Structure 1
Amino acid sequence: MMNLQLESIPATRIAYVRRTGPYGPGNVQAMEQLKEWAREQGLLQGSAVLFGIPQDNPETTPPAECRYDACISLPENSPAEALVPYGELPGGAYAVVTIQHTAEAVLQAWAEILPALSRSSYKLDPGRPVIERYTEVMVSRHLCELCFPVLD
């Protein structure tokens, strides 16, 4: 059974690269493109947090239309940048689980966490996306966090 932690994640200003197409290896390409841009901007440093946001449910959206956003948190007062759009990650309550950063572990987590949430007192918030969260320390340990939005 997965160890779910409830966490309040603040709204976060982000820069992102969007990819449209089947989820999988292309998501990695979007993240690499974002990291290259972030390095050039001096943003990919210790406190930076990377996020992967699958915007669509592949069970109800054709694979060719699935959107994935590779994102990085931005410091306050970051100047606007023409090459990469900016946005805001919605804050709120999230059920967070830490997993190995492998395709197998991600698939297993998705298969286990939704039933676990339905058995718990938490209800998934359909108005906010599920977030993959990566910090420098976690990446160095080959870990990531899946953050499932829940209603307060």
Structure 2
Amino acid sequence: MNKQDRYIEQFAPFRIAYMRHIGPYGPVNIETMELLKSWAIQRELLTHTAILLGIAQDDPATTAPEHCRYDACIVIPDDYIFDEQKEHIKTGVFSGGTYLVVTVKHTAEDIQHAWSEVTPYLQASGYRLDHKPVLERYRPELLDQHLCQICIPVTIS
């Protein structure tokens, strides 16, 4: 993890639309994200400025696989309205906070490698993990380069 690949960012609250999968993490997460993207394309929400998020709500080390929740999300305008019951999609508000943002190649190996370096980096920098879900953030300019961002919630030690 190079210095230029990581930084601390303060996220403001924002509104999201999301689809949730409950069950073991894995390839179905990709399918859930693809369903969300199809929904967003039909509503002209998946633009060159769109922000997509993948949020694993549960730690598989402490939650049974059949109970793990994965949310595929897109940031939406505060005034965007749709019928949640008809469209099988939910809305929510991401509360924001302080995050360590790590930009990595969008491969399982690179993401896992970044994770192996996070704990020592946090210990050396005076931050510690906060008790919020980790985010995977996808923006078109990063996806074009086969990159994504892992956003890890932190607090000052």
Structure 2 counterpart of 1:73, from 57, 62, 75: 75
Aligned residue for 1:59, secondary structure, equals coil
Residue 116 of structure 2 is aligned to residue 111 of structure 1: yes
Residue 61 (structure 1) aligned with residue 63 (structure 2) = yes
Q: Are 2:146 and 1:142 aligned? A: yes
1:125-148 CA-to-partner distances (Å, cap 9, x unmatched) read 11x211100101111110000011
* RMSD, aligned CA: 1.3
CA distance in 2, matches of 1:144, 1:106: 9
CA distance, structure 2, for counterparts of residue 114 and residue 24 of structure 1: 24
Aligned to 1:36: 38
Deviations 1:87-114 (A, max 9, x none): 0112111111100001111222222213
Task: Give the length in aligned residue pairs.
Answer: 151
1:133 aligned partner: 137
Q: How does 1:7-18 map to 2 (within 5 A)?
A: 7-18=9-20
For structure 2, which runs of at least 5 residues remain unmatched after alignment?
none
Q: What is the alpha-carbon distance in structure 2 between the residues aligned to residue 129 and residue 90 of structure 1? A: 11
Question: What is the TM-score normalised by the length of structure 2?
Answer: 0.90
Partner amino acid for 1:34? L
Identity across the alignment (%)? 46
TM-score computed with the length of structure 1 as normaliser: 0.93
Note the alpha carbon deviations across 1:32-60, whole angstroms, 9 max, x for none.
01000001111000111000000001111
Q: Distance in 2 between matches of 1:63 and 1:142?
A: 28
Aligned residue number for residue 97 of structure 1:
102
1:86 CA displacement: 0.2
* Cα distance between partner residues in 2 of 1:114 and 1:33: 33
